[in-house]
Chains A and B, each alone.
Chain A
Amino acid sequence: MLFQTWNFLFFLLPLLAVYFCVRRTFLRLPVLLVASYLFYAFFDWRFPIFLLGITTADYWIGRGLERKRRGWLLALSLTLNIGLLCAFKYLGFLLENLQWVLDACHVEAELPEVEWLLPVGLSFFTFKSMSYTCDLYLGRGRCERNFLAYAAYVAFFPQLVAGPIERASTLLPQLHHRMPLNGDDLAQGASVFLSGLFKKIVMADMLAVYVDRVFDDPTSYGGAALLMASYAFSWQIYFDFSGYSDMARGVARLLGFRTPLNFDNPYAADSVRDFWRRWHISLSNWFRDYVYIPMGGSRCIKVRVWWNLLVTMLVSGLWHGAAWTFLVWGGLNGLGCVVSSLFDRSNWYKKIPALVKQLVVFQFMTLTWIFFRAHTFEDAFDVLKGIIHWEEGEALFPWIPAALVLVVWGYGLLWSSRFRGFLERRPCRMAAVALAVILILLLGAGANSQFIYQQF
């Protein structure tokens, strides 16, 4: 059930009405929980079984950790969550590569091909659940004794399919203490939802048409088209995913929940590390807290810090997908983080104008996104080869999305400049929202394309 479809509207409107009636009663949590499981079952009736399994296991592990910090309990939680992820997401990839190694060694063995149905949002809710048990083990969080509250936290439907990966410490208190729900919440929720809807169905979907065409057959296009498609994908994935996050946050807000920002103008970042502080913030924080810092974080010798950065980004790449292209993408980002951690401290780098740094970071991210978007390694190299050799051919990039991207980028630049006060004025905000609504109505008819991050 995608946020921009009729199905979701027919799901949300009655839910809002019911939720509004029961928000001050004991029925609040059961209603939210049932709604979340229904939402998930809409994708496939079998999916809620996995969700319930993980939720129940981690709930009881949490109760065990409350009594005593036992390492084996944490290990059990990690094994269950990562095991489930491996079984559904990585097993096929592992077997495929193992088969390749066996073939290379001339060992005659036929490994089975695994094509299991990947439960939508598995990577998101397992990470959510793992963060809870990790926090309990590390003494950072409180154990949740109410099973309904914990289950509602893991299954919270606005975040279930593609995040943000909300921590128990911010969502559980809101599930317990009825947050006031007033007109402002509704208006804020609707505004953020509209902003996300605009990003998805106007911007991302419009860029997707060009990007899909070029990346589906990169050898048929010249250097200019490949370069433009790479730039376009940088924006498409930003609009697609931040659009989803905005819609998720907007829906949560409509229900009275305040959830953290997941994107903070990432293409205004002036270093790769800064980019990862602004892009998919909830995931970056997750990796920072549960991978990077436990490895030693920044409090070690330089080489070790670089190693930590590299490993964290490689794991992040693998989280995104079971393919070598994602690993390369993670590795490149790891290298980018290492280089930017070197540059950040140097005086000469500080003197470079912010706009130039932003452009360099954007170029670098565009390079890494090529590996993220390409279907295979060969496709990624075909794209890079086409750009480097600058093979002939016109870009034929449509001017309308280009103009819209420029407008949005310009808006972002102004927002981070001293002109922000101007944009914050009521007429400006109202005109911007009105324009977004008009474009949504004009371009959104029949929009029901999937979100990129949904596949993770």
Chain B
Amino acid sequence: MKTRLKDIPANTNGLHLGVRELLFVLIVAVALVWGGLPFWHRHALKVTLDKDFRFSYALRDDYLLYRATVKQACQEFDTLFLGDSVIWGMYVRNDSTLTACLNRAAGEEKYGNLAIDGLHPVAMETLLRNYAGDLRGKKVYLYLNPLWLNTPLYDLSGEGETSINHPRLLPQFDFSLKCYHGTLQERCNAQRERLLDFYALLHHWRVCFFDNRDFKSWIAKHPGENPLSLLRMEISPLEEGHSSNSTVDWYESGIAEQDWPWMALEDSRQWRAFLQCLRILQKRGNDVTVLVGSINPHMQTAESLAKCRALREEMQGRLTKDGVSAILLPELPSEEYGDASHPLAAGYRRLADFLVVKVACSDGVL
């Protein structure tokens, strides 16, 4: 009945090691997986940027691939545009985005589109800090979409339930983000991904090669296939889903008139994050110009519109006061807006024409 403690074996399979043996094995295995594998991958991965490049919508949360794309884009383009889906080109083909229009006007592939759909300033701050180090020293146009400040929830400073874009890029342990309800497991995993490239690499493989499934589900779905044979080191993250330009403007879409409260800059979480983005870029020696986006004036109440215009001007004023070059993008005709902030193809052409003049003026060409 009585078990003698000395008789109890540690394990039935002999997988037990002494202190030194265990330490050695852990150090070697962990170094190999956490260090060696991402290091090798980082140097072996080749990204090709095709004509009228913009980052694929399907791969928008593959931040490891984004980093490789930034690196390649810095080699190929003089000037890079950063921002959300307005710069990315929500309703248009690759050849109708703002950068594509600018490139056509310039007669060469000069402007690179590094925007990502749904990239609000809080997420952009983490993205720039962790995945865009190669931008160092480049000329950058940083797009500021005032729409992120239209309500406390969008601004991420309010409480309540909302679906947040790029949750893995949020500051995971900043509890002032009361509308972010990630579990401890999710928060730790996101933080771990930032600290250890290996986990970003696993996500990259999942998104690029395993139908966005985790490895176990993928092999159950593809019983006979060898997952290693799918891994490729040459990737083109070009958007392939937008084959035509939308011609349906916001009015035809049936979007109702909006009355947004708009946040004050002092209280805005997104504005604070945007200023952080600026500081990160400035510290890295980037020549930054901020593009303060326009919000569809035709779908707002008079009160909302007045606040919005005041806010945009205040944004530009504050930035200029801080010595940052800031361009207030013009409001477009009603039929050139797809919704509250996204232009249609004609809108991008108009914005490109506007910027060409602005750039020429600032360069002293005109």
Interface residues of A (CB under 8 A from B): 5-7, 10, 140, 167, 169-170, 174, 183-184, 186-188, 190-192, 194-195, 205-206, 209-210, 213, 246, 249, 253, 258-261, 263-265, 289, 396-401, 411-412, 415, 420, 423-424, 426, 429-430, 432-434, 436-438, 441-443, 445-446, 448
CB closest residue in chain A, given B29: A437
Those of B161-217 within 8 Å (CB) of chain A? 184-185, 188-189, 198-199, 202, 214-217
Stretch at the interface among B107-115, B219-227, B295-303: B219-227
Question: Given A7-B184, A169-B2, A195-B13: A206 and B216 within 8 A (CB)?
Answer: yes
Q: Pick the contact of B219 from A183, A194, A398 — CB < 8 Å?
A: A398
B50 at the interface (CB under 8 A from A): no
Q: Pick the contact of B11 from A183, A246, A445, A446 — CB < 8 Å?
A: A246
Question: Given A170-B3, A213-B220, A434-B29: A253 and B21 within 8 A (CB)?
Answer: no
Q: Pick the contact of B18 from A187, A210, A445 — CB < 8 Å?
A: A187
Stretch at the interface among B30-38, B65-73, B139-147, B237-245: B30-38
Contact between B32 and A209, CB atoms less than 8 A apart: no
B366 at the interface (CB under 8 A from A): no
B5 at the interface (CB under 8 A from A): yes
State the CA gap A398–B213 with chains docked (Å). Answer: 15
Contact digits for B1-25, partner A, Cβ 8 Å, 1 yes 0 no: 1110100111111111111011011
Least CB distance, A391 to chain B, in whole angstroms? 19
Least CB distance, B11 to chain A, in whole angstroms? 5
Contact between A259 and B8, CB atoms less than 8 A apart: yes
How many B residues face the partner with a CB closer than 8 A? 44
State the CA gap A183–B1 with chains docked (Å). Answer: 30
Question: Given A430-B24, A438-B33: A195 and B219 within 8 A (CB)?
Answer: no
Q: A434-B29, A441-B33 are in contact. List 19 more A-B contacts (CB 8 A).
A: A169-B1, A170-B5, A187-B18, A187-B19, A191-B10, A191-B16, A191-B17, A205-B216, A213-B220, A258-B5, A289-B1, A398-B219, A398-B224, A411-B13, A434-B28, A442-B33, A445-B202, A446-B185, A448-B185
Q: Pick the contact of B12 from A167, A170, A194, A261 — CB < 8 Å?
A: A261
B44 at the interface (CB under 8 A from A): no
Chain B residues contacting A205 (CB-CB under 8 Å) are 216
Q: Which 10 A-B pairs have the closest CB atoms?
A: A209-B220, A191-B16, A437-B29, A6-B188, A398-B223, A183-B19, A187-B19, A398-B219, A441-B33, A396-B223
B26 at the interface (CB under 8 A from A): yes
Give the A-B contact count at a CB cut-off of 8 A.
137
Contact between B13 and A260, CB atoms less than 8 A apart: no
Q: Pick the contact of A429 from B3, B21, B28, B220 — CB < 8 Å?
A: B21
Chain A residues contacting B9 (CB-CB under 8 Å) are 261
Q: Pick the contact of B216 from A186, A209, A246, A432 — CB < 8 Å?
A: A209
Least CB distance, B132 to chain A, in whole angstroms? 24
Chain A residues contacting B30 (CB-CB under 8 Å) are 437, 441
Contact between A446 and B220, CB atoms less than 8 A apart: no
Question: Given A209-B216, A426-B21, A445-B202: A191 and B15 within 8 A (CB)?
Answer: yes
Chain B residues contacting A396 (CB-CB under 8 Å) are 223-224
Chain B residues contacting A210 (CB-CB under 8 Å) are 220
Chain A residues contacting B24 (CB-CB under 8 Å) are 430
Contact between B219 and A412, CB atoms less than 8 A apart: no
Chain B residues contacting A191 (CB-CB under 8 Å) are 10-11, 15-17, 22
State the CA gap A429–B17 with chains docked (Å). Answer: 7
State the CA gap A401–B227 with chains docked (Å). Answer: 13
State the CA gap A437–B26 with chains docked (Å). Answer: 7
Contact between B3 and A260, CB atoms less than 8 A apart: yes
Among B15, B26, B214, which residue has the most Cβ atoms of chain A within 10 A? B15
Instruction: Provide 10 A-B residue pairs closer than 8 Å at the C-beta atoms, listed in order of the A residue.
Output: A184-B19, A187-B22, A191-B17, A209-B217, A399-B223, A399-B224, A437-B26, A437-B29, A438-B29, A445-B202
CB closest residue in chain B, given A174: B5
Least CB distance, A97 to chain B, in whole angstroms? 36
CB closest residue in chain B, given A210: B220
Least CB distance, B173 to chain A, in whole angstroms? 12
Least CB distance, B24 to chain A, in whole angstroms? 7
Least CB distance, B220 to chain A, in whole angstroms? 4
Contact between B1 and A140, CB atoms less than 8 A apart: yes
Least CB distance, B286 to chain A, in whole angstroms? 33
State the CA gap A429–B14 with chains docked (Å). Answer: 7
Q: Pick the contact of B14 from A169, A186, A424, A437 — CB < 8 Å?
A: A424
State the CA gap A434–B21 with chains docked (Å). Answer: 10
State the CA gap A437–B17 with chains docked (Å). Answer: 13
CB closest residue in chain B, given A428: B14
Q: Pick the contact of A192 from B10, B21, B215, B222 — CB < 8 Å?
A: B10
Question: Given A429-B21, A438-B29, A441-B30: A6 and B185 within 8 A (CB)?
Answer: yes
Contact between B25 and A437, CB atoms less than 8 A apart: yes
Contact between A415 and B16, CB atoms less than 8 A apart: no
Least CB distance, B42 to chain A, in whole angstroms? 18
State the CA gap A289–B28 with chains docked (Å). Answer: 46
Least CB distance, B3 to chain A, in whole angstroms? 5
Least CB distance, B15 to chain A, in whole angstroms? 5
Contact between B26 and A6, CB atoms less than 8 A apart: no
Chain A residues contacting B220 (CB-CB under 8 Å) are 209-210, 213, 398
Least CB distance, B317 to chain A, in whole angstroms? 45
CB closest residue in chain B, given A188: B10
Contact between B19 and A438, CB atoms less than 8 A apart: no
Least CB distance, A214 to chain B, in whole angstroms? 10
Least CB distance, B1 to chain A, in whole angstroms? 6
Chain B residues contacting A183 (CB-CB under 8 Å) are 19
State the CA gap A107–B231 with chains docked (Å). Answer: 66
Chain A residues contacting B16 (CB-CB under 8 Å) are 187-188, 191-192, 195, 429
Least CB distance, A46 to chain B, in whole angstroms? 21
Chain B residues contacting A261 (CB-CB under 8 Å) are 8-9, 12
Contact between B219 and A7, CB atoms less than 8 A apart: no
State the CA gap A186–B10 with chains docked (Å). Answer: 12
Contact between A441 and B198, CB atoms less than 8 A apart: yes
Least CB distance, A163 to chain B, in whole angstroms? 15
Least CB distance, B279 to chain A, in whole angstroms? 31
Chain A residues contacting B3 (CB-CB under 8 Å) are 167, 169-170, 260
State the CA gap A265–B11 with chains docked (Å). Answer: 10
Contact between A441 and B219, CB atoms less than 8 A apart: no
CB closest residue in chain A, given B15: A195
State the CA gap A411–B11 with chains docked (Å). Answer: 14
Chain B residues contacting A259 (CB-CB under 8 Å) are 8
State the CA gap A394–B205 with chains docked (Å). Answer: 28
Chain B residues contacting A401 (CB-CB under 8 Å) are 219
Least CB distance, A133 to chain B, in whole angstroms? 16
Least CB distance, A358 to chain B, in whole angstroms? 15
Chain A residues contacting B198 (CB-CB under 8 Å) are 441
